[in-house]
Amino acid sequence: MFAVVTGASKGIGLEIVKQLAVDEENTVLAIARSSKELNLLKKSSPHNIIPFTGDITSPAAITKIQALIKKNTKHVDLLINNAGFLVNKNFANISSKELFQVYNVNVFAPFLLTQKLLPLMGKKNRSHIVNISSIGGVQGSSKFPGLSAYSSSKAAIAGLTECLAEELKSQNIACNCLALGAVQTEMLEKAFPGYKAKLSAKQMSNFIVDFALTGHQYFNGKIIPVSSTTP
């Protein structure tokens, strides 16, 4: 199996890559902006982790990712759009630069990366796209001050998931979205300073990996809340 994981240098993304790489038959392209963390990740499993250092909000980087994948495989079985960016600031004070940065990472980058990888997905072998959203992006869920840009961007990726599932189902590609609740990560600390979540990044990645490998047999176009607690 060939898997692509963004936001792979820390938190949930890092743990996802580690768990996928345990199976020596899997090859994982780990994408992140930090080369230091990616190199350490590569050393932990040198035979089946391919690191790529780059900014997925850059079209040039996405083109390079596509080229790198084509050198290593003819088919992408799994794409986990995990990279995320958060601004915690009062709505009235969020700058256009900050707003665009949140949407570039959380919406536009996964949109464009998925487009680039479509020719390598589906057909005879079913592929699975898993978009990582937030419980804050689910309509009707609790909302919190300071997270308007982040939560609305996560609502957008959830909506995109439903659109992709419909458009790609004839191509043997499933697309689902996991809306995560509180997980002990740097991003949670930024959103809710001092709050301690019941779940660790490793615990949540256990669920995500299992769902990524099997969920497309049962679901398509679903927005699934995965939340034991929400601050």
How is the chain split into domains, by residue range? 2-226
- This prediction has a pTM of 0.96
Q: What is the dihedral of CA 156, 157, 159, 162, to 10 degrees?
A: 170
Residue 103: active-site member: no
Q: pLDDT tens across 188-197, in order?
A: 999 999 999 9
How far is the C-alpha of 68 from the C-alpha of 180, rounded, in Å? 30
Q: pLDDT tens across 70-120, in order?
A: 999 999 999 999 999 999 999 999 999 999 999 999 999 999 999 999 999
Beta bridge partners of 129: 79, 175
Catalytic residue among 103, 150, 195, 218: 150
Enter the tokens of residue 209. Answer: 């990996």
How far is the C-alpha of 101 from the C-alpha of 228, rounded, in Å? 29
Please give the CATH topology (third level) of the domain spanning 2-226: Rossmann fold (3.40.50)
Q: DSSP string spanning 103-171? A: HIIIIIHHHHHHHHHGGGS-TTS-EEEEEEEEGGGSTTS---TT-HHHHHHHHHHHHHHHHHHHHHGGG
